[in-house]
Amino acid sequence: MSQETLDTAINLGYIVASVLFILGLKMLSSPKTARRGNFISAVGMLIAIVATLLTRGMTYQWIIVGLAIGAIIGAWAAYAVKMTAMPELVALFNGFGGLASLLVGFVEYYEHPARPLYTTVAVFFAVLIGSVTFMGSIVAYAKLAEKLPGRPLLFRGQRIVNGAILAAIIALGFVFCARPADSYEVMLVIVALSLLLGVLAVVPIGGADMPVVISLLNSYSGLAGAAAGFVILNNVLIVSGSLVGASGIILTSIMCRAMNRSLGNVLFSGFGAVGPASAAALTDGQGAMRETSLDDVATQLAYATQVVFVPGYGLATAQAQHVVRELANALEERGVTVKYAIHPVAGRMPGHMNVLLAEANVPYSQLYELEQINPDFPSTDVAVVIGANDVVNPDARDNPNSLIAGMPILEVDRAHSVVVLKRGAGRGFSGLENPLFFKPVTRMLYGDAKDSLTRLVAAVQQA
């Protein structure tokens, strides 16, 4: 095969792969087509890899070693990592993407320091964004895995320090781009400062803001990949990186709107560092949460007309998604209408609840987004909240002094009755008090969610 024919085949493969990436990304926007979209994107990636391997001059023995190691790690992650660990796994994958871009940029510069200006600029951005993404993702992983405190870690002058580090990196970037052949030490300093910036940029974020951080880091990894594509002049890497970067930014914007907060507020406010008591909880005269029994809940559910399940991170922690589906089946056999209310930022990563419920084969027709389900709550007999906190906190609606004031919520407090499944009476991941738990319509069912739901299935079947 001539070189011209080979180049044509490679470029054709890249075009096909890019089209599949776009189609797959489009399908990921809906739970109904997400699995198919993921498969189509995977096929596109396979085509891109094969096309890249056709490039002349490859050292295949090391590529085969890398493919084997990567395949083993990927297969192990797919089968062994529990759904409770999925958010931190996504954070790690984002970090690996950033690390790959960092290494590509650094190695290309090390081997060919004298390059055209546009390539040198691409090397700088690949190293900068890749380093920030890598270390930021490592910190996010540590927070989600509870190896670091989940709350924001703040210190005096934090914004000033971060701004100074970023300014220093940009100044060094100009020096590096002006004289790349003589700036090896400058590049090392840029890498070190960028890694430090990645840590300092994420440690002040925590609590309920972690899903936004994951989405933003995903966007960073795409931008780093696109920059690496410009370094090695790989069209499909530029296209795929740009798609990931743009879609990640859009998703981040959507999630910020779902919390009625700006991205700047998420990144710099230190939300969740202090969890003040809710004004509503302190002034409504209730004073204490009311505990209920499993038999009472089973009776309520068995004779209800409509039940709405509201999943949160507690559902993932208890691995209770399959049992929720069993309980829903038992209720539907009795003629009860069952729905699932999904908040955009429920859980600890974008789409967390959709992933959990899809694993349990919950019909997509029963999943309702916030705008769809809120009008139904006044006609709902029982709303069952499973490990959710901020997304059902009425303070966001009723208390203008709350840290989450204005955040759109699932208005479960408008249901005839609310049952909250929690391990204990403590506050949620964000550290905010929730006045829902003190309202007259609310009863608390304490214990492991999976165990409670399992016993509810048996009790409903016997009712």
* Active site members: 390
d(CA 282, CA 107): 59
d(CA 318, CA 84): 8
Using the Cα atoms of residue 72, residue 78, residue 81 and residue 86 in order, give the sign of their dihedral: positive
Residue 286 phi/psi, 5-degree rounding, is -85, -55
Look-up: residue for tokens 């300092």?
A: 200
CB-based contact 136:199 (threshold 8 Å): yes
d(CA 412, CA 421): 14
Write the CB contacts of 167 (distance below 8 Å, at least 6 apart in sequence).
none
Own/partner long-range contacts of 249-252 (Cβ < 8 Å, ≥24 apart) = 249/216, 249/219, 251/215, 251/218, 251/219, 251/350, 252/212, 252/215, 252/216, 252/219
Quickly count: other Cβ atoms within 10 Å of residue 378's Cβ. 10
> Which residue type, as a one-letter code, is found at position 58?
M
CA 155 to chain centre: 26
